[in-house]
A and B are shown apart, each in its own frame.
Chain A
Amino acid sequence: MNIIVCVKQIPDPEAPPASFKIDPATNKVAPPPNIPPVISPFDEQAVEAALRIKDAGGAKITIISLGVNLLRDVVKKPLSMGADELILLEDPAFADGDSWATAYALAMAIKKVGAYDLILCGRQAADWDSGQVGSCIAEILGLPQITVAKKLEVRDGKVKVERVTADGYDVIEAGLPAVVTVSNELGTARYATIKGIMAAKRKEPIVWKPSDIGVETAKIGAAGRRVKMQKLFQPVREGKCEVITGENEEDAAANLAKKLAEVKLL
């Protein structure tokens, strides 16, 4: 059983909203100072899903991450959780792609890895919230896709997935190889173990450049974008909250009820 998990390094999406800034000079998001980047949370859950399959029946887990300035401490986290290999597509030519350009490069890297039964992605990367790379990889490689998974089970050459829907879930099955994207309903990802951290320290990632995976450079990174960004801005919030007070909390609560009655919201 060979599992490939695609993980993306992003600015911490749970950093306080007030720390979010756009650099007007470059029209890019300025990473918040003193808050290190993280692996996108859904991707960490995709790693967790792979580890659960490995726990249940054994598997080799290969992590692939595409980007620039990939901090080794960050991208090695899946290794410290229990993954086996780490491949980095690290080159400026790969950077700033849209989902399509990114998926094309990842799919070419996956082809080069060769052995894969299951490809896991997060449901969406928590920076651009694009939500497409998994489907694009599936389309490029001609594989079935199951998105927004909360539970996966591999048996007899098939993967059985519980896919989250608006009012419950669907149970869907596909033959392997297949692409599955993982959602937070899967449950929290495990912590790294001390043993895992030590092993991850010793393990050097494999770094591939565009020429290593035979991509057409016009189709990757910023050059390969089909979706063009015209503008990036922060919506202005009015922020005019009327704080209702009272002698104590109970009194303030009663005053809130009165206020709501007064403005006909009760």
Chain B
Amino acid sequence: MTDNKGVMIFTEVVDGKLAPIARELLGCGRKLAGELKEELSALLIGSGVAGVAAEATAYGADKVYVVDNELLKDYRTDAFVGVIEKVARQANPRILLLGQTSTGNDLAPRAAFRLGTAVTLDCVALEIDASSKLLLQTKPVYGGNARAIFTMDTLPQMATVRAKAMSALTPDSARKGEVVTVDAGLDAATIKTNLLQKVVQEVEGVKLEDASVIVSGGRGIGGPEGFKELEELAKLFKGAVGASRPPCDNGWVPTSIQIGLTGKVVSPEVYIAVAISGSSQHLAGCSGSKNIIAINRDAEANIFKEARFGVVGDWKKIIPAFQAKAKELLGK
């Protein structure tokens, strides 16, 4: 029997800094580690990432494992699974958390099974059970219609966490932490996939994840022209445009602006849902918004159950009139 202790966070790095999800995970991990009275560690994997260790410490890690290797420059499943396996066997965490990101959701299941344990993906809440000390993993299921709480007896207990479900701590640069460098020990021959190209589809203006106002359109918008109108409205509020899945599937807008269970998770101050019915899968991506405003011609549409304010009617009439009045009130 191994003696598993502590909480370990796989901290993703974006543009040489901790990804927002990594900071959120450290915030959550700090709490869990505190309840267990055990250590919080961060696991940094990549090429040229050693410098990020200080940031991980500032955001709450007691110890940072750094695996820096050229072969780890881009995410590749086999390489990262191999490294996670190595570090997890060395450090023996009780809990190992990753982000529900395109890297995390590819990496976590395979790493879990390699380690002989299991993982719950896309959790929105994590707690330590008072009596069993097990990690209670709350995950939306059935497209968000229900939630389930899972546990596992195998170690490490693993989960991925949805963006914006946890809060980061205020960074403290005075915090002290230990840095442990681990050799990747990679054999290039075990990496069975080859990354040929990374294609980034730039979206103009404010990023969805950062926007405080989002104007989001659904199937009822009817085509790409309608989204031009939504863009204008978003510009007025210095916000961003999002969409439900059908406009993305139909090619009216880029797939990267899809909001929902299998798209982006957003939590703006104001989310204006235009001609969106409010399926559970869509709400999975926007129900964390502070204020949802629904515009829909169907008074029975589910979106009104989530909204704070709503107008029933045809968006083609409502949006221009709303925009004109808003412009006037904003003095523009």
Contact = CB atoms under 8 A, between A and B. Distances in A.
Nearest to B316: A249
A144 B145 CA distance: 33
A205 interface: no
Given A168-B198, A174-B192, A243-B304, A231 B146 contact: no
Contact of B193 (A172, A187, A256, A259): A172
A253 B319 contact: yes
A126 B144 CA distance: 10
Nearest to A98: B118
A184 B113 contact: no
A237 B122 contact: no
Interface in A94-120: 98-100
A25 interface: no
Interface stretch (A16-24, A49-57, A69-77): A16-24
B330 to A, nearest CB: 6
Contacts of B143: 13, 126, 129
Contacts of A204: none
A235 interface: yes
Contacts of B311: 243-245, 249, 252-253, 256
A17 B145 contact: yes
B102 interface: yes
B148 interface: yes
For chain B, the bracket of interface size reads 35 or more
Given A98-B118, A129-B140, A233-B146, A168 B305 contact: no
Contact of B150 (A144, A229, A242): A229
A132 B262 CA distance: 14
B308 interface: yes
A256 B197 CA distance: 47
Contacts of A261: 326, 329
A145 B77 contact: yes
B131 to A, nearest CB: 12
Of A100, A127, A145, A249, chain B has the most CB atoms within 10 Å of the CB of A249
A226 B154 contact: yes
B198 A138 contact: no
A130 interface: yes
For chain A, the bracket of interface size reads 35 or more
B150 A227 contact: yes
Contacts of B109: 99, 131-132, 135-136, 139
Contacts of A140: 113
A136 B113 contact: yes
Nearest to A29: B142
Contacts of A127: 141-142
B136 interface: yes
A168 B121 CA distance: 22
B102 A164 contact: yes
Interface in B252-299: 255-256, 261-262, 264, 269-270, 278-281, 291, 293-294, 299
Contact of B119 (A123, A132, A233): A132
A20 B325 contact: no
B172 interface: no
Contacts, number: 248
Nearest to A234: B146
A60 to B, nearest CB: 24
Nearest to A251: B321
Interface in B181-230: 192-203
Given A22-B146, A99-B109, A254-B321, A184 B245 contact: yes
B54 interface: no
Given A98-B118, A171-B199, A128 B304 contact: no
Given A13-B143, A168-B256, A254 B325 contact: yes
B294 A138 contact: no
Contact of A242 (B142, B148, B152, B310): B310
Contacts of A1: none
Interface in B110-127: 110, 113-114, 117-122
B318 A253 contact: yes
Contacts of A14: 279
Given A98-B118, A129-B140, A171 B196 contact: yes
Given A13-B143, A129-B141, A145-B110, 17 more contacts: A17-B280, A127-B142, A128-B141, A128-B142, A129-B140, A136-B109, A148-B105, A168-B199, A168-B201, A173-B196, A227-B151, A231-B148, A232-B149, A237-B306, A244-B309, A253-B320, A261-B329
22 contacts: A13-B142, A14-B279, A99-B109, A129-B141, A146-B193, A150-B255, A166-B264, A170-B199, A173-B193, A227-B150, A231-B149, A232-B146, A241-B304, A243-B312, A250-B317, A250-B321, A252-B312, A253-B320, A256-B311, A257-B322, A266-B326, A266-B329
